[in-house]
Structure 1
Amino acid sequence: MPPFDVPEGDPFGPHNLPYGVFSPPGSSERTVGVRLGDHVLDAGAAAHALGSPYASLLARPSLDALLAAGRTAWSDVRRALTAWVTVPAHRETVEPLFHPLSEVTLHLPFAVADYVDFYASENHARNVGRMFRPDAPDSLTPNWKHLPIGYHGRSGTVVVSGTDVVRPSGQRKAPADPAPVFGPSVRLDIEAEVGFVVGVPSELGRPVPLGGFRDHVFGLCLLNDWSARDVQAWEYVPLGPFLGKSFATSVSAWITPLDALDEARVAPPERTHELLPYLDDTGEEPGGYDLRISVAVNGHVVSEPPFSTMYWTAAQQLAHMTVNGASLRTGDLYGSGTVSGPTERERGSLLELTWNGRDPLELPDGKRTFLEDGDVVTLSAWAPGPDGVRVGLGEVTGRVVPAP
């Protein structure tokens, strides 16, 4: 089907237009692309062909220049792209610049600067608390309702969807073991998350307030925070996640601009504790997003976590991440933390889905507690869009390969 003739209701129609970076068939050159249906528009070539002033932002091998350009430019470029793919007068010029999605090579769309991951789902945090602190008076830690808990990860191991994930090795020690052992992780897990991509940097020493979220954050993508639970359990006291998390983080090849998700904005869950002023979003525009995520293992859907249940919003996470004066850089990526809903079918990790391995999942190809070599995990999602049309998020997939 010709790219201009996207079927009505296609989740990647002109109301969406996520950005990525691709190489055309038979070429190693990288360029910015925009997805429309099952095609990719060479956005830089289109800008040149139409004499657009935005060619300097789009005829690039990454999204970095566009990310740094700021909110006004983001909106202007989006309006221009929408016209290029919908106005009949542009069709003759633009249509030859599309490539079938199945024929291109997709790349990591931006240079990841810093990477931070949060722990923002109350359902996930309570599940973990019940598993590992069953005798505690509250399944949440005392600070959980007062600030978004997070940790700094490793930006150099953020990989694009489709990249194989090598099973990590490390130290592990079960409670009954007399000493730790070294070897490949035997409790390899996933975490279904949403990643937020920072465009405009901030000044060192100047926090970003809640209201600055849309001035700094360009868009979002699906994110899989692969986790070696056995390595993590032995290493995390007292400083938190380290090698159990840093071996790989998979992100989608497509970054959905925040402007495409205006219809999906929702209020977060009711706050049960008074927040300090820098986190108090009373009176701010709705900070949650109604994203419907699906988690599949080897093509079999095992969970459908709802992002609308997340207690801490992306704006609050950004405010907390910078409140000490830490600066933002173009390409900073921060993850929402595992997305889990209130029911068993809505849990965003195998740790929760199998209750720490106690209740194996029944898959068509056998039982699973944690991932086996060869398993393929795919996250997909959609959000409500204008006039009842869905906004599709680019999927993120990864296959587990054996440790060397």
Structure 2
Amino acid sequence: MPGADGSGFTAANLPYGMFSLDGETPRAGVRIGHHVLDLAPALHDEVFASGSLNAFLARGRTAWHDIRRRIQCLLDADAPEAAANRAALEPHLVPLERVRMHLPVEIGDYVDFYCSLEHATNLGRMFRPDENPLKPNWRHLPVGYHGRSGTVVVSGTPIVRPRGQRPPAPDSKPPRPVFGPSAKLDIEAELGFVVGTPTRLGETAGDLADHVFGVALVNDWSARDIQAWEYVPLGPFLGKSFATSMSAWITPLEALAHARVPGRAQDPEPLDYLRRREPWGLDITMEVLLDGERVSRPPYREMYWTPDQMLAHMTVNGARLRTGDLFASGTVSGPDAGQRGSLIELTWNGSEPVKLSDGRTRAFLEDGDTVTVTATAPGPDGTPIVLGEVTGTISPARTAP
């Protein structure tokens, strides 16, 4: 495909998304270079015209593989029938700049984990300096919480600054919480996993690749001041639920075969249901850009808990999976200061603001700021696999009703 080589979106990648033209009903496509291949007419399969990817994902792993191979064969420039295939596909290749992207799946449930040892340690040191930074359970299970699926939005959606209760001012007498727009709006650069094959209530999930179709970059926007006041004793609520951004493109797990690594050593050894049977660490390097300037390079391969362990823990009690469910890794942070995936770490809760090249500083996000998370992974023959970016711009808080 002309223009695909060097783009990171070759036939070795082929991420899926939902797109529309001029207000039409969204339909499924795969990205190849700087084009979108409209799948319903190209493959003569109406499942790709159903308004979301859910119906296709529900077909399961064998169907995912077969469709991927079929698309790759149609795009193969060295195939004997390449000229005929090219002529047949040409009417269904849409330039990327013409399309509007939509949320790729109808999300039933959203679960967010807390799987980075460095992120958890940094926050523990920040807020519990006189204690062990990790709670006693952290090395025994992937900690997580059930999020709000209805506020997962596609990349590019503006993020309205949330309002809520914040901790009392130090000099307030009597102490009363402050209500208003968050003054500590933050990001969390994460990797999300999209479920295809469901499970029944009461059964646990099997192999990761039998249930998870692919991955997408996620930014779990966080209002740290609202979160700090509300999270005891039940954990995140309004400080997280106002918005979570997800890439418009889902990269199939099959495209990441060359990015798989064993995963980080774990001590103590997890309980049997959490023991790794396959290498599901992923060598994915992220970049966080603030107004177009790189401020961090979080390495996903350093995550302590891997996605197969997240899936096992999420379903071990019999909670069922549904097609379109999304679970995310939690903030991705590495051991170096320039590898932290949130502003609260990068600025050490605002005490060491990030300095941008134009002289501006940021402790937390200001209105008008744009945050973009990108990522790459190794592919076959040294070809990089580029994940679809996730981006969002902060809009001012809405006035009180």
TM range (shorter): over 0.9
SS at match of 1:69: coil
1:157, 1:22 → 2: CA distance?
Answer: 20
Moved segments of 4+, more than 3 Å: none
Of 259, 279, 300 in structure 2, the residue corresponding to residue 264 of structure 1 is: 259
Corresponding position of 2:200: 203
Match of 1:52 in 2: none
Identify unmatched segments of 5+ residues in structure 2: none
TM-score, length basis structure 1: 0.95
Q: Pick from 54, 63, 66 the counterpart of residue 76 of structure 1.
A: 66
Q: Percent identity?
A: 59
Q: How does 1:4-403 map to 2 (within 5 A)?
A: 4-24=1-21, 26-48=22-44, 55-86=45-76, 87=79, 88=82, 89-136=84-131, 138-174=132-168, 176=170, 177=172, 178-209=175-206, 212-281=207-276, 284-365=277-358, 366-403=360-397
Matched AA of 1:390: P
Give the aligned CA root-mean-square deviation in angstroms.
Answer: 1.0
Deviations 1:308-334 (A, max 9, x none): 000001110000000011000011000
Letter in 2 for 1:169: R
**Local SS of the residue matching 1:329:** coil
Query: What is the distance in 2 between the residues matched to 1:373 and 1:351?
Result: 17
Q: What SS does the corresponding residue of 1:397 show, helix, strand or coil?
A: strand
Q: Secondary structure at the match of 1:6?
A: coil
Q: Distance in 1 between matches of 2:347 and 2:329?
A: 22
Alignment TM-score, normalising by the size of structure 2: 0.95
Structure 1 runs not aligned, ≥5 long = 49-54
* Cα distance between partner residues in 2 of 1:263 and 1:224: 25
Please report how far the alpha carbon of residue 174 of structure 1 lies from its aligned counterpart in structure 2 after TM superposition.
4.7
**How far apart are residue 57 of structure 1 and its match?**
2.7
Give per-residue Cα distances to partners, 1:40-69, cap 9 Å, x unaligned: 110111012xxxxxx033233210111101
CA 1:146–1:190 in 2, change beyond 3 Å: closer, same or farther? same
User: Partner letter of residue 161 of structure 1?
Assistant: S
Count of residues paired in the alignment:
389
**CA deviation digits over 1:298-352, x for unaligned, max 9?**
0010000000000001110000000011000011000100000000000000000
Q: Secondary structure at the match of 1:193?
A: strand
Q: 1:44, 1:60 within 8 Å by CA — same for their partners in 2?
A: no
How far 1:28 moved relative to its partner? 2.0
Q: In the TM superposition, what is the alpha-carbon distance from 1:364 to its structure 2 partner?
A: 3.2
**1:295, CA displacement in angstroms?**
0.1
